[in-house]
Every structure is written in C-alpha cells, then in structure tokens.
Structure 1
Amino acid sequence: MPVGARSWLADLRARFGGGGGDAGLGILAFEAAAAMSRLVSLHRSLSDVEVRRLRADALRAEGVARITSTDQSFLLRLACGELVADLDRAAGTAARLGARCCTGAPFLHDFDSVYAEAKRGNVLARLDTTVGFSKGTAKRFRKMERHVDATAKLYAEMDALSELEASERRMEQWKRHSGPIPAQPAPAAKRQAAEPGEKLIRELNSQRQKVRRLMEGSLWSVAAHKVSKLMAKSVLAVLARISIAFGAYVPGLPLLTPIRGWAFRRTSGPLQAAASTTAVVRHSAPIFRQNQKDTAFSASGSIKPPANTIGASGMERRYANVIVSAETLLRARKPAIHSEEVDVGVNLSKRDELYKMLPMTIRAAVKAKLRENWRGQPMDEAAVAASMDAVDRMLRWLGPMAHDTVRWHDERSMERAQRFSMRPHALMVQTLHFADRQKAEDAIVEVLVGLSWVCWYDDVRRRPADWDD
C-alpha cells in the first residue's frame, strides 16, 4: 500500500477508531469490503454464462492459440488456478476477521483450518447444519453487494472529508501568518454575507454528518462476527462452484459432491466434456511441457510463467501498450492513404511515442527487418494496401490480448474505482502473461514493419506537395 494511503488510514483509525471488535469493524470495513467485492466478482465469473464464455471464446481466441497454447485442459488449469488464488486471499480476510470475534460460530475462530480442509475435499457433514453455507447463497451475495456499495460510498466521502479538513488547516495556517482580515465596507445587501471560512465550516459540518450516517449504514458499524460468518459461508460457496465447474479438468481440486441443501447445479452446472485438442489452429502448438501442466493448479497461490514467456520477463504491460499504440496508429493511417486531409503533426507525434516505448530488442529487430526488406521492394498503393491488410489481420488477434492485459493490470490496481469493483475480472490466461515471448515479439515486429512501410509511403506521397510550399 502506498505511504500516503497508509498515513491516511492511520489518521482515520486515530479519529474514528480502529475497529475489529464485535461492536463494529471500524477501519477494517475497507479491507472487508474489498474482499467481499472480490467474492462477488468470483461468484459472477462462475455463472453459466461466464463459464461458457470462458471456454467458448476466451480460451479459444486466435491469439491465445497462436502464442500461448492450444491445450484446452492446460488453459483451464491456469484459469482455475487464478480463481482459486483470488479466493485464497478473500478466505484469508475472512479468517483474520473471524479470529478477532468474541462471539459467533466456533468455526469462525479457526476458519483457515476449515478452508484448508475444504480445499482438500474433507467437507464435513456437520457444515451442512452448523454452518449452513449451502443455503441462501444468492441472498448472501446480494447482501454483500449492498455492503460493498455502502462502504465504497463511505470511503469516497471520507476522502472528501479529509480534503476539506486539509483546506481548513491551510486556512488556519494562513490566518496565523497573515493576521485578522480587516473589515471591508460592503453594500447593505451584502452585510449578511458569510465571512471568509464560514462556508468551509458549513461544508465541513455537513460532510462530517454525511460520513457519520454512512458509517452507521455500512460495514463500519457491523459486528465482526457477522461479517466474518457472511464471508466464510460465501468463500465455501465459491469453492464449491469452482469445484463443480472445473473439478473434472483440474487435478488437485476437491471433488465436492453436493450434499443435501446444495443448489449450485441450478445456477452453475459442470462444464461439458472437453473438446478434442486436435481441433486447433494448425500453425500453433503448446509451449509448455507436460510436467508443467501437472503442477499448474498445485501452484495456484503463486502461478509463475515459464522462463520463455512474456510474463517471466515482466514486460507484458509494455508490450500491450505497444500493440494498442500500433492499433491507434493504423486507424489513423487508413483514411490518410486515400486522402490529402491529414494532421501530419499528430501522426508524427504518435509514431514518435510508439518508437520511444519499444524495448531495445524490438527496436533492433524492426530495423534489421526493414533493412532486409527495403532492397528492391516495389512501393505503390497496391503494395501498401496489402501491407496494411496484413497488419490489420495480425492486430485482430494481437489486439484483444493487449487490451485484456491492460484491463488485467488496471483491475488489480489500488485505485478507488477498482478497489471495490464487483464485475467479472479478466484472467491472466487471456492476456500476454503466458504468451511465448519469441512468438509474440516476432508478431509485434511484423506489425511494426508493416506500419513503417505504410507510414513511409504516405510521407513520400506527400513530399512533393510539401516541397512546393
């Protein structure tokens, strides 16, 4: 967490209370709300619609097949591993809250052990009666949605209150250094106007009242044992959904047999049998060895990409930005080839930005490829159009992976808009994270070389008109 955020939370804890007891969560409400938002996101990600979309679209996308893998079983393991890793983090928050409880169900005080046993498949029958986590699942998730919304509003209003209080401190400091403000003659109609600072004081009082109201209606004032119990049941419900959806394809998942009272199959049934991996893109092959596939889920808490992938180099966000910039530049060049009306300065600026973000290896490869292709290459409108079409075709499958990469990083940022997001998140398997680095770099180089030809032709075509001026 950034230093500024830590100091802000420390100030809130000092002014409003640390929380965590059965009287109310207090400052821990924000951690609980973030974990709840992740649970709701996981719950939505495991709906029938989202699971079908994952299998039919995301894992069978052309880009994934070309530069990551065509092995659907392996891709499912990666997707499942990330989902379980996210669930582990939410379960950790539930366990920490449960350990602080003075009252509540006994299993809350030792929820980390209960969760570990559930992951091993040792789901005790007593959980069906003493915990009751299989009943009222939809109602619990709707309740968590309301808690997250209310706590997110509290977070925003506390932030606004902190800004107003900072303004008050600056005004007080200014008064101490400047002395009292001399009275100014004013028309009779303005004599009732507020003195400097009174408006700020009114805003402060109003904001403090708003914060107090939101505290009462959010997780801030909910007892820890109630929050922990709600989250613990939801964690086990999500684990059951994951097991039912992926259990037939992911070694190591608990094979949970729905016991009496469970209704998960009505809303999220098991996946259909895996399709044959022979029906794949002909020019693609898996980049992972068999032994790596077998350990994918067992290492779900820290999925590490092999050394030959982009994720291992930590360059996935940078490569994604290059691809997105290439898309933008291509869209700008398409009408320019057939038109004299183009903002040359803007296009040159975009090209310069794209060039500056290129890693040295990509930059050198593009230069070498251009020198190799430059000799004797015919350059006319037909050749440029063919080059543009080739770039466009490559970006149709590279682009979605790049956009998913940017989205994945944005969704896991600490920004307020993302901290309490409850929509289904992008998965690493959809991004450039597990993509073969050499294949991806070769594709990016081809795109950049094609764009260079297009831009060069357009520059040459316009040059005589520039010289005439």
Structure 2
Amino acid sequence: MALETWLIKVKRTISKHPNHKSNVGILSFEIASLMTKLLHLWNSLSDKAIIRLHNESIPFEGVTKLVSNNELFLLKLACAELVENIKLVAKSISRLSSRCQDAKLRCFDQCFDSFTDSGHDFHLWALSSNDMEAKNKKMATLIAITATLYKEMEELSTMENNLRKCNCFSMKDQQRLYCQSQEVKHLKQKSLWNTTFDNVVSILVRAVFSILARFKLVFGLGFFKSNSNFLKPPLDTLGASALALHYANLIITLEKMIRSPHLIGLATRDELYSILPSTIRSSLRGRLKGILGFIADDPLLAVEWRSAMGKILSWLSPLAHNMIKWQNERSFEHWDFNLLPKTNVLLLETLFFANKEKAEAAITELLVGLNYIWRFEREMTARTLFECSKIV
C-alpha cells in the first residue's frame, strides 16, 4: 500500500508539471523570435538610441508638423510604446515560465509586477550593463543556430516530400537525405531546441528584468506606468482612420514620380488618380480648377515647384518610409528571427499619429506641383520634337 501511495503521488506531481526536465523542442523558434525582440528592446534603450530620440526623432520637422510640437507629449508616446513592447514580451515569458520546474521561475508574473511597482528584485535577476551585453552575445548565438536549424529542417522537409513523389530514388538521394537528417540532428543538439524550459526562461527573465531596470534608469516608475491607451491614436489621425499605411505607399509613389516626371505616362497618371482617397481627390480638383487650360511653359515656375516639392518631401517622405519599416519589422510574414531590425523606428516617427487633414494638405500640394511639372515636361518635349521636325 505504501508503494501504491507513493506512485500515486509521483503521478500527481508529473501531471501537475508535465514538462518536468523537458526540452523546448518546436517552441525553440518562438523563443528565438522572443530573444530577438529582447535584443531589439535593449538596443532601443542604449545611450545612442536615447540621444537620437531627444536630438533627432522628437524635434524632426515632419513630427512637429504632423504629429505634435509638444516635446513632453512625444516623449510620453515613445515611452508608452516601449512599455507596451516590454509588457508583451513579459507576457510571452510568463506563458513559458509556467512550464518550468524552478518555483522561482514559475512565479515570474508576481516578480515582474513587484519589480514594476516597487522596484524590488527579490531574485536579483536584473543584470549590470556589462553582464547584459555578455548575455546578449549568448542569445545572439542561440538565435543564429536556431535560425540555421529552421532553414535546414525546411530543406529536409522539401527533400523528403520530393522523394515521396518519386517511385524510386537512387542511393545518392538516400545518402543526401541521411546527411541532411544528421545535420538537423546536430543542430538540434546545439540550438535552443535541446534546451530545457528552466534554462531558457532563466535567460529570458534576466534579460527582461535588465531591460526594465534600464528603462527606469533612463526615463524613471512614472513613465513606465503610462497607460497603454495613450497609444490609441486620436480620431483626427491617419492611424485612427486606418489610412497610415496606404498614405505611406502613396507618398513613396509620389516621391518616385517627382524624381522622374518625364517617365510618367498617361496610364500611370490615371492609375495614381484612381488610388487617391476621395478627400484628396476633392481637394485636388479644387486646386486644379481653372488652371488646366493654361500652358505649363514657365521654367521659373517649374523651378519653384521643384523646390517646394523637395522641401515637403524632405520631412514627409521619412515618415512614410518609417511607416513601412515599422510595419515590416512587426509583421509576422516579414519576421526573421535571424536578423535584428536595422532601425529603432518608433510610432511617433511614422504617419500613425499624423494629423489627417495636415497630411492630406501636404499630399495635395505634391500632386499640384507634380501636375505642373508633368505638363511642363510634356510641353518642353513637344516643342523640342516640333523644332526637330522643322529642321528635318
């Protein structure tokens, strides 16, 4: 009876902690992506990134024209986005920590909340900057190996599928398949795949605690408590109307056309007009009313329009390109955990919080200028051809 009682207790313990001493396996790819986000967050809080935020991002002309010229408001926007990203990463770590054997790791939620509210780091998980840099190198290595594993597993799957389709395959094919499977097996041993939940989560919790400590050092407890609702775009913004990405693509298209107006055909012009929102179409019609009948043959006016469009693009174009970068870096389809994002683009540097009316006015101005330059180029070309025909 004593033996049976003991076995029952063992079974209950195993059922309560089914992943006892288990490896992360297929979850290694999700964890590699999570580590990449942690590295990105740490880089976002570096001295270089903070200096850039204060000296370049917040005072940038496009931001002050379309988003806000209130420095404190913009700083709160940046902090709110960073806080939200830290919280999202912590939520993912919490799901993994529930699979750990170590009781301290299983209590990650409570520890994180305590550190957030009171600054108490009971388990001393927060690392110094030097130790965190060393930890980052370890994570980067694990990310790279796990990314290679993912690639080789895809290759193995492709080879297996191809061989299944064949009625017969050679000894050479079998050898290639065997070598590929051995490579995958080897990479599993070296990568996150073969790491226990306790070991992985131990790395993750130390990283996120270090990031949180760094955030408090840079910004202070008050900024971290920023409400995530602060990131909700006001009703008069492109983000609220779900037009930020569409307008970004429109601006980039205009940028290309303005650089090479002589390459714009009637079909391209009509296609551009067809993708314009109704508000911009209406504004454009009002601006062009009464001038379409006049010949665009004033070279001085063409120079003035080129200069005006160049100035607008100098502050509007970066917001559009940043919008695309921000979207791609956070898109599941574009996410590659083997590559850190090349930039630390924040939402305030995009069109997301841009005032819709002001953004549309700037776009309309570009369209009016492009219309004149396009007509001027056609007029000059027609005159050149006419003069040539007279000589012939």
On whether the aligned pair clears a TM of 0.5, the verdict is yes
| Paired residues of 1:329 and 1:351 also in contact (CA < 8 A) | no
Instruction: Write out aligned runs for 1:392-431 (5 A).
Output: 392-415=310-333, 418-423=336-341, 424-431=343-350
Hey, what does 1:298 align to over in structure 2? 227
Hey, what does 1:312 align to over in structure 2? 240
Hey, what does 2:13 align to over in structure 1? none
Cα 1:203–1:406, aligned 2, differ >3 Å: closer, same or farther? same
The yes-or-no answer on 1:236 pairing with 2:209 is: yes
The yes-or-no answer on 1:118 pairing with 2:91 is: no
Instruction: Write out aligned runs for 1:24-39 (5 A).
Output: 24-39=23-38
Instruction: Write out aligned runs for 1:201-280 (5 A).
Output: 201-247=174-220, 251-253=222-224
Cα 1:388–1:169, aligned 2, differ >3 Å: closer, same or farther? same
- 1:220 Cα deviation after fit: 0.5
Give unpaired runs (5+ residues) of structure 1: 1-18, 181-195, 255-296, 337-343
Structure 2 residue matching 1:311: 3-state secondary structure: coil
- 1:378 Cα deviation after fit: 6.4
- 1:379 Cα deviation after fit: 3.7
Deviations 1:255-274 (A, max 9, x none): xxxxxxxxxxxxxxxxxxxx
Cα 1:382–1:234, aligned 2, differ >3 Å: closer, same or farther? same
Give unpaired runs (5+ residues) of structure 2: 1-17
Cα 1:408–1:21, aligned 2, differ >3 Å: closer, same or farther? farther
TM-score (norm 2): 0.86
The yes-or-no answer on 1:90 pairing with 2:61 is: no
The yes-or-no answer on 1:167 pairing with 2:170 is: no
CA distance, structure 2, for counterparts of residue 100 and residue 73 of structure 1: 41
The yes-or-no answer on 1:153 pairing with 2:148 is: yes
Hey, what does 1:385 align to over in structure 2? 303
| Paired residues of 1:20 and 1:28 also in contact (CA < 8 A) | no
Hey, what does 2:45 align to over in structure 1? 46
CA distance, structure 2, for counterparts of residue 200 and residue 449 of structure 1: 63
* Aligned residue identity for 2:152: E
| Paired residues of 2:239 and 2:353 also in contact (CA < 8 A) | yes
Structure 2 residue matching 1:435: 3-state secondary structure: coil
| Paired residues of 2:305 and 2:369 also in contact (CA < 8 A) | yes
* Aligned residue identity for 1:428: L
- 1:197 Cα deviation after fit: 5.0
Cα 1:375–1:118, aligned 2, differ >3 Å: closer, same or farther? farther
Deviations 1:222-250 (A, max 9, x none): 11101101101110110111111112xx8
Cα 1:142–1:315, aligned 2, differ >3 Å: closer, same or farther? same
- 1:314 Cα deviation after fit: 1.0
The yes-or-no answer on 1:322 pairing with 2:254 is: no
| Paired residues of 2:26 and 2:193 also in contact (CA < 8 A) | yes
| Paired residues of 2:24 and 2:193 also in contact (CA < 8 A) | yes
| Paired residues of 1:127 and 1:133 also in contact (CA < 8 A) | no
- 1:404 Cα deviation after fit: 0.4
- 1:466 Cα deviation after fit: 6.0
| Paired residues of 2:24 and 2:192 also in contact (CA < 8 A) | yes
Q: Identical aligned pairs, as a percentage?
A: 32
Hey, what does 1:289 align to over in structure 2? none
Cα 1:232–1:252, aligned 2, differ >3 Å: closer, same or farther? same
| Paired residues of 1:321 and 1:402 also in contact (CA < 8 A) | yes
CA distance, structure 1, for counterparts of residue 314 and residue 71 of structure 2: 21
| Paired residues of 2:66 and 2:354 also in contact (CA < 8 A) | yes
Q: What is the number of residues matched between the two proteins?
A: 369
- 1:397 Cα deviation after fit: 0.4
CA distance, structure 1, for counterparts of residue 283 and residue 111 of structure 2: 54
| Paired residues of 1:22 and 1:224 also in contact (CA < 8 A) | yes
- 1:403 Cα deviation after fit: 0.6
- 1:445 Cα deviation after fit: 0.6
Provide the alpha-carbon RMSD of the alignment: 2.5
CA distance, structure 2, for counterparts of residue 223 and residue 151 of structure 1: 14
Q: Which has the higher helix share?
A: 2
Cα 1:463–1:33, aligned 2, differ >3 Å: closer, same or farther? same
* Aligned residue identity for 1:28: L
CA distance, structure 1, for counterparts of residue 55 and residue 268 of structure 2: 36
